[in-house]
Amino acid sequence: MPAACIGIGSNLGDRLQNCKRALRLLEQRGIRVKAVSGAYETKPWGGQSVAGQPDFINMAAVVETDISPRALLNVLLEVEKEMGRVRERKWGPRIIDLDILLYADEVMDQPGLKIPHPLMHERDFVLRPLAEIAPEALHPVLKKTVRQLLEEFSD
Protein backbone atom coordinates (compact mmCIF):
# COMPACT_ATOMS: atom_id res chain seq x y z
CA MET A 1 0.00 0.00 0.00
CA PRO A 2 1.56 3.34 -1.03
CA ALA A 3 2.64 5.80 1.63
CA ALA A 4 2.15 9.51 1.18
CA CYS A 5 3.39 12.46 3.19
CA ILE A 6 0.92 15.21 3.96
CA GLY A 7 1.60 18.76 5.13
CA ILE A 8 -0.92 20.21 7.58
CA GLY A 9 -1.24 23.84 8.63
CA SER A 10 -3.64 26.24 10.31
CA ASN A 11 -3.48 29.88 11.36
CA LEU A 12 -7.10 30.62 12.27
CA GLY A 13 -9.08 29.59 15.33
CA ASP A 14 -7.75 26.78 17.53
CA ARG A 15 -4.88 25.94 15.22
CA LEU A 16 -3.74 22.73 16.91
CA GLN A 17 -7.28 21.36 17.20
CA ASN A 18 -7.89 22.22 13.54
CA CYS A 19 -4.88 20.11 12.54
CA LYS A 20 -5.96 17.22 14.77
CA ARG A 21 -9.53 17.39 13.45
CA ALA A 22 -8.26 17.24 9.86
CA LEU A 23 -6.38 14.03 10.69
CA ARG A 24 -9.53 12.51 12.22
CA LEU A 25 -11.55 13.47 9.12
CA LEU A 26 -8.94 11.85 6.87
CA GLU A 27 -9.14 8.64 8.89
CA GLN A 28 -12.94 8.71 8.67
CA ARG A 29 -12.51 8.71 4.89
CA GLY A 30 -10.28 5.61 4.91
CA ILE A 31 -6.88 7.32 4.85
CA ARG A 32 -4.71 5.44 7.36
CA VAL A 33 -2.59 7.81 9.43
CA LYS A 34 0.65 5.98 10.30
CA ALA A 35 2.73 8.78 11.88
CA VAL A 36 2.16 12.38 12.93
CA SER A 37 4.81 14.95 13.75
CA GLY A 38 4.74 17.34 16.63
CA ALA A 39 3.25 20.80 16.14
CA TYR A 40 5.53 23.64 15.05
CA GLU A 41 4.57 27.29 15.39
CA THR A 42 5.83 29.21 12.39
CA LYS A 43 5.55 32.61 10.77
CA PRO A 44 3.42 32.85 7.63
CA TRP A 45 5.37 32.25 4.41
CA GLY A 46 5.00 34.40 1.32
CA GLY A 47 6.65 37.79 1.87
CA GLN A 48 4.59 40.97 1.98
CA SER A 49 1.44 39.17 0.85
CA VAL A 50 1.18 37.52 4.29
CA ALA A 51 2.03 40.55 6.45
CA GLY A 52 -0.16 40.79 9.55
CA GLN A 53 -1.41 37.19 9.46
CA PRO A 54 -1.41 35.08 12.63
CA ASP A 55 1.33 32.48 13.05
CA PHE A 56 0.72 28.94 11.84
CA ILE A 57 0.76 25.59 13.51
CA ASN A 58 2.38 23.20 11.02
CA MET A 59 2.53 19.44 11.19
CA ALA A 60 3.20 16.53 8.86
CA ALA A 61 1.71 13.07 8.61
CA VAL A 62 2.64 9.84 6.88
CA VAL A 63 -0.47 8.13 5.58
CA GLU A 64 -1.21 4.91 3.73
CA THR A 65 -3.86 4.68 1.09
CA ASP A 66 -4.78 2.59 -1.91
CA ILE A 67 -6.36 5.51 -3.77
CA SER A 68 -4.62 7.44 -6.52
CA PRO A 69 -2.79 10.71 -5.91
CA ARG A 70 -5.65 12.63 -7.62
CA ALA A 71 -8.24 10.88 -5.45
CA LEU A 72 -6.14 11.66 -2.35
CA LEU A 73 -6.01 15.32 -3.37
CA ASN A 74 -9.80 15.29 -3.72
CA VAL A 75 -10.13 13.87 -0.19
CA LEU A 76 -7.84 16.62 1.17
CA LEU A 77 -9.88 19.30 -0.60
CA GLU A 78 -13.10 17.74 0.73
CA VAL A 79 -11.77 17.86 4.31
CA GLU A 80 -10.66 21.49 3.86
CA LYS A 81 -14.12 22.39 2.59
CA GLU A 82 -15.88 20.53 5.43
CA MET A 83 -13.74 22.42 7.94
CA GLY A 84 -14.71 25.76 6.40
CA ARG A 85 -11.63 26.70 4.38
CA VAL A 86 -12.23 29.73 2.20
CA ARG A 87 -9.79 30.50 -0.63
CA GLU A 88 -9.88 34.27 -0.93
CA ARG A 89 -6.26 34.92 -1.92
CA LYS A 90 -3.05 32.99 -2.46
CA TRP A 91 -1.29 32.28 0.84
CA GLY A 92 -4.13 33.95 2.74
CA PRO A 93 -5.08 32.96 6.29
CA ARG A 94 -6.75 29.58 6.56
CA ILE A 95 -8.48 27.38 9.08
CA ILE A 96 -6.77 24.35 7.50
CA ASP A 97 -4.33 23.66 4.71
CA LEU A 98 -3.61 20.12 3.54
CA ASP A 99 -0.97 19.38 0.91
CA ILE A 100 0.41 16.22 -0.64
CA LEU A 101 4.16 16.54 -0.17
CA LEU A 102 5.20 13.10 -1.43
CA TYR A 103 3.27 10.10 -2.73
CA ALA A 104 5.46 6.98 -2.78
CA ASP A 105 8.06 7.68 -5.47
CA GLU A 106 5.59 9.35 -7.83
CA VAL A 107 6.50 12.37 -9.93
CA MET A 108 3.45 14.15 -11.36
CA ASP A 109 2.87 17.51 -12.98
CA GLN A 110 -0.81 17.87 -13.78
CA PRO A 111 -3.16 20.85 -13.53
CA GLY A 112 -3.79 21.32 -9.80
CA LEU A 113 -1.55 18.42 -8.75
CA LYS A 114 2.22 18.48 -8.54
CA ILE A 115 4.08 15.69 -6.73
CA PRO A 116 6.45 16.10 -5.05
CA HIS A 117 5.15 19.42 -3.73
CA PRO A 118 7.07 21.96 -5.82
CA LEU A 119 8.07 24.19 -2.89
CA MET A 120 8.60 21.66 -0.10
CA HIS A 121 12.41 21.86 -0.27
CA GLU A 122 12.22 25.66 0.18
CA ARG A 123 10.07 25.60 3.30
CA ASP A 124 11.46 24.98 6.77
CA PHE A 125 7.90 24.64 8.10
CA VAL A 126 7.42 21.65 5.80
CA LEU A 127 10.83 20.00 6.15
CA ARG A 128 11.16 20.23 9.95
CA PRO A 129 7.97 18.32 10.87
CA LEU A 130 8.42 15.89 7.98
CA ALA A 131 12.02 15.13 9.02
CA GLU A 132 10.73 14.22 12.47
CA ILE A 133 8.59 11.35 11.14
CA ALA A 134 10.05 10.49 7.72
CA PRO A 135 13.70 11.59 7.63
CA GLU A 136 14.64 8.96 5.04
CA ALA A 137 11.75 9.71 2.67
CA LEU A 138 13.29 10.40 -0.71
CA HIS A 139 12.46 13.43 -2.85
CA PRO A 140 12.14 11.63 -6.20
CA VAL A 141 13.28 14.60 -8.30
CA LEU A 142 16.11 16.00 -6.17
CA LYS A 143 17.22 12.47 -5.15
CA LYS A 144 17.79 13.61 -1.56
CA THR A 145 16.20 12.51 1.68
CA VAL A 146 14.06 14.84 3.74
CA ARG A 147 16.88 14.86 6.31
CA GLN A 148 19.38 16.01 3.65
CA LEU A 149 17.00 18.71 2.39
CA LEU A 150 16.53 20.02 5.93
CA GLU A 151 20.28 20.03 6.60
CA GLU A 152 20.88 21.97 3.38
CA PHE A 153 18.07 24.38 4.21
CA SER A 154 19.52 25.00 7.67
CA ASP A 155 23.02 25.78 6.30
Catalytic residue ranges: 85, 94, 97, 99
Residue 137 phi/psi, 5-degree rounding, is -60, 135
- Give the residue from 119, 129, 122 showing the smallest Cα distance to 16: 129
